[in-house]
Chains A and B, each alone.
Chain A
C-alpha cells in the first residue's frame, strides 16, 4: 500500500486554467494531471501532451481486417471448396469488396477502441476514481504531486495567484 499526496488547484474558467498551467510550468513545477468536465481545446499544447498515435493503431488494425477478409474469402471460395456461382470465377474479387470493407472498418474500430481502453486504464470498476467530484461537473482541477520537501505554502500561493478559487490536499492510496 503506497500512498501519494497531491495538491489540487480548483479553477472555474478554462481560460484562467490555461494561463495558470503555463505559469505553473514556467515556474518549474511539474503538473501531475489536469481534470476537466469536457475536452479543452488547446490544453494539449500548454500541458505538452503528445499527439495521440491511436490513428496509427487504427490503420494497422484496419490493414489486418483487410488481409483477414481477403484471405478468408479467397481461401474458402477459391481453394477449400471451389464452387461456380453465377458463372463467375472462383476468386471474383469485385464481389469480395463489400465484406472486405466491412471487416476493415470493424477491425480498425475495435482495435483502436480496445487499445484506447488499455493504454488509458479504462476498465469497469466499482470505485469512484476522481480526485474531486466537481471535475466531472463544472470545475477544472489541476493536480500537482507532493514530493518530500515540497513547500506546500509556496505551491498554494502559486496556484492562488494564478486564479485557483480553492487549493486542497488529497491523499490517494494505490
Chain B
C-alpha cells in the first residue's frame, strides 16, 4: 500500500533501496579520502594554525593583545561567542523541534546539523574561556569548595547562568547526537573489513544489535531527549541574551532580547546548515538524500526567522523612541547614523532584505542563490552582534570616555582561527562518521521515496498493525 501524496515531493529520490542507503552513506567512511577532502582539510589546518598562534599570543602576552579598551571591554570575543552559539541552535532545532513536529525531512540532515551544533559550541566556548585571561583557572566558574572559606559563585549572575546553560546544552546535544549515531556505527561495524575499523566501530556502537526491544526504547529515549532539548535550546539563547538584557546599558536593557536572540540564532544556524549541506551533498554525492525539497524547506525557515528578526529591529527602534529615555534614543540613533553606521546597515541589508528574496520559488530552489544568501545571512548575523555590543558600549554615559573600537590582528586571528577549528572538526566528522542518519532515512524510505518497495501486496494490506506511513 504505497501512499503517494499529490502535494508532497519525495524526500529520497533516485529510487533508492535500503541497501543503496547503506552503500551511499558508508562509501566515504570506507573509501580512501578523496582529493577535495584532503585539500579542504589542508586549508582548515592552516586556519587552525592561525588559531593556535593567536591563542598562544593571547595567553602569553595577555588580553592586551586584543583591541579592547576601558570603554569597550567586550567586543569581538563576545560577538564571536554569541555568533557561534547561535549557529549551533539550528542543529538542535532540526533534531529536536522538528522531531516533535514530525517533520520527516529532518532525517537526512539532522546528523550533520547536530555535528555542526557540537562543533559550533566548542568554538563558542573558546571565547569566554580565553577572555578569562587565565584559562587554567576556568574551573573557578563552578561552585566548588575552595580555600576562601568556600566563597561560592554568584547564582544571581547571568554570566554564571551561561556556564550552566552552555555546558548543559553541550553535554545534552552530545548525548543526543551519540544516541543517534549508535545504530549507524553498528552498520559500519558489520560491513568493516579491516580489524582496526571493525574494533573501533564495535567500541563506538556499544554492542548494538538492532533488537526490536532496543529500538522501542531507542525511540522513547529520542523522543524524551527531543522534548528536553527543545526548551533547553530556547533557554540557552535566552540566557545568552540576559548577559546583556539584565544590565543597565542603553541598547541592551530591553525585554525583547530573549525571543529576538532565539529567532536570530535559528536564522543564522539554518544559514550555516545550508552552507555546509550544499558543499557536503556535492562533495559526497548525496544529492538523492539532501534534495532541493530540503533546501527549500530550510529556506522557508530562514524567511520566517529572518522576518521575525526584522520586526524585532524595527520594534527595538520604535520602543527606544517611545520610551522617552534620552540615552536609549541616542543609542539607537547612534547605531544607525553614528560612526558605526556601516555595521548597522550591513546588518539591516543582510538580515532583513536578503532573506525576503526567498519569497520567489525559483530563488528558494536555486542552489547558487541559496549558497550566496546563506553566506550573507551569516555575515549579517555577525554584524548584528557586533552592532549590539560595540555601538552600545563605545559611547558611554560620559562623553569624555567615548572611544572607537578597532580589532587587532590577534582579534581577527582568533576569529578566523575558530573557523579553522570548526571546519577541521567537521571534515574529520564527515570522513569517519556517517554524515546521513542511515537508520532514520531507512525508516522513512517506504513512505517518502515515491517508489513502491512493497514486494508482497497481500501482506501489506493486512491492517491490524499501524504502519510506518500512518503519519502522512
Enumerate chain A interface residues (CB-CB to B < 8 A).
12-16, 18-19, 22, 33-47, 49, 51-52, 54-55, 58, 72-73, 76-77, 80-81, 83, 85-86, 88, 92, 95-96, 98-99, 101-103, 105-106, 108-110, 112-113, 116-117, 119-131, 133-138, 163
Contact = CB atoms under 8 A, between A and B. Distances in A.
A73 B155 contact: yes
B190 A136 contact: yes
Contacts of A19: 459, 462
B353 interface: no
B15 interface: no
Contacts of A163: 456, 459
Contacts of B228: 58, 105, 108-109
A19 B460 CA distance: 8
Contacts of B206: 117, 122-125
Contact of A45 (B17, B442, B466): B466
Contacts, number: 239
B27 to A, nearest CB: 13
5 contacts: A41-B468, A99-B161, A102-B235, A124-B207, A129-B208
Contacts of A88: 156
Q: What is the interface of chain B mostly: helix, strand, loop, or mixed?
A: helix
Contacts of A12: 455
A14 B19 contact: no
A127 B179 CA distance: 19
Interface in B180-212: 182-183, 186-187, 189-191, 198-199, 202-204, 206-212
Contact of B210 (A51, A80, A92, A130): A130
B209 A35 contact: yes
Given A73-B155, A128-B189, A15 B217 contact: no
A81 B152 contact: yes
B448 interface: no
B365 interface: no
B161 A92 contact: no
Given A40-B468, A54-B224, A136-B187, A122 B208 contact: yes
Contacts of A38: 183, 215, 438-440, 442-443
